[in-house]
Amino acid sequence: LPKLFIFDLDGVITDTAEFHFLAWQKLAEKIGVSIDREFNEQLKGISRMESLERIIALDPSLSLSDEEKESLATDKNEYYKQLIESIGSENTLPGIEELLKDIKASNVQIALGSASKNAQMVLDKLGLTTYFDYVVDAAKVAKGKPDPETFTTAADALGISYENCIGVEDAAAGVQAINGANMFSVGVGSEEYLANANYIVSDTLKLDFNQIIKEYTV
Ligand code: B16
Ligand code: MG
């Protein structure tokens, strides 16, 4: 058995990815840029400021000071927090709580590896905090995904070697981070974006504990 599962938050445990998208869309409008869901794929797993930089880059005529960027990033977070204010356990993606229960029942530890500064608040709202032995959020790492640090930080904190870890991600940058940490990567979503994952499922309902363990041990 592995010793630790490390879960991404947005797009794996809950679909706040959609709320991030809506908040970025509103922010982009404010600076006269338009973004669609396809562009949003690039923002998944990427930090708030890095996401803003990518949106600003869509209009080469835009030149913004650091203060203006900080203020735009804060605006986006305010939109986002309004959107997630009313989320609850019904926003946990299908199959996730069952999987967390199966992992716990096997005495395997669980950590969160999120790029979001709102990660702990979201976990609390979903009522899932007690499943997690350790939470890594944006505040705990210097280099965000695709750098492996988010995942290695969780393993290091719990004293577990990387080859005994399984990371679960919905974003290309996240899969790259897991692979870079020499952990087993499980991708949730389309093969088009997640081709580098060691094992891919199309959606969270297909995340079956026994099947993941089988893939991990071959
Ligand atoms: P915040 P994850 C990531 O979370 C999101 O996928 C990404 O879209 C977002 O920009 C990032 O968190 C930062 O979030 O603005 O709340 O700090 O997928 O790594 O759980
Ligand atoms: Mg994600």
CB 49 within 8 Å of CB 68: no
Q: Residue 46, Cα to own-chain centre: how many angstroms?
A: 9
Tell me the binding residues.
8-10, 24, 43-48, 51, 76, 114-118, 145, 169-170
Residues shown for the chain:
218
CB 125 within 8 Å of CB 84: yes
- For 72-85, the pLDDT digits (tens) are 999 999 999 999 99
Active site residues: 8, 10
Is pLDDT of 55 > 90?
yes
d(CA 2, CA 120): 24
Centre of ligand 2 to C-alpha 36, Å, is 17
pLDDT (0 to 100) of residue 200: 98
- Residue 8 Cβ contacting ligand 1 at under 6 Å: yes
Query: pTM score, two decimals?
Result: 0.91
Tell me the binding residues for substrate.
8-10, 24, 43-48, 51, 76, 114-118, 145
Nearest CA to ligand 1 atom 13: 116
Centre of ligand 2 to C-alpha 9, Å, is 6
CB 40 within 8 Å of CB 26: no
- Residue 44 Cβ contacting ligand 1 at under 6 Å: yes
Nearest CA to ligand 1 atom 5: 45
pLDDT bucket at 17, cuts 50 / 70 / 90: confident
* Radius of gyration (C-alpha) of the chain in whole angstroms: 17
Among the ranges given (33-47, 112-126, 156-170), the one the predictor scored with the smallest mean pLDDT: 33-47
Say how many C-beta atoms besides its own lie within 10 A of residue 99's C-beta.
22
Residue type, 4: L
CB 102 within 8 Å of CB 209: yes
Centre of ligand 2 to C-alpha 115, Å, is 8
pLDDT (0 to 100) of residue 140: 95
- Residue 176 Cβ contacting ligand 1 at under 6 Å: no
d(CA 73, CA 50): 10
CB 52 within 8 Å of CB 21: no
| Region of residue 118 (phi > 0: left; psi between -120 and 50: alpha; otherwise: beta) | alpha
pLDDT bucket at 41, cuts 50 / 70 / 90: confident
pLDDT (0 to 100) of residue 193: 87
- Residue 20 Cβ contacting ligand 1 at under 6 Å: yes
DSSP codes of every residue in 96-155:
HHHHHHHHHHTT-EEEEE-S-TTHHHHHHHHT-GGG-SEEE-GGG-SS-TTSTHHHHHHH
- Residue 41 Cβ contacting ligand 1 at under 6 Å: no
Centre of ligand 2 to C-alpha 18, Å, is 11
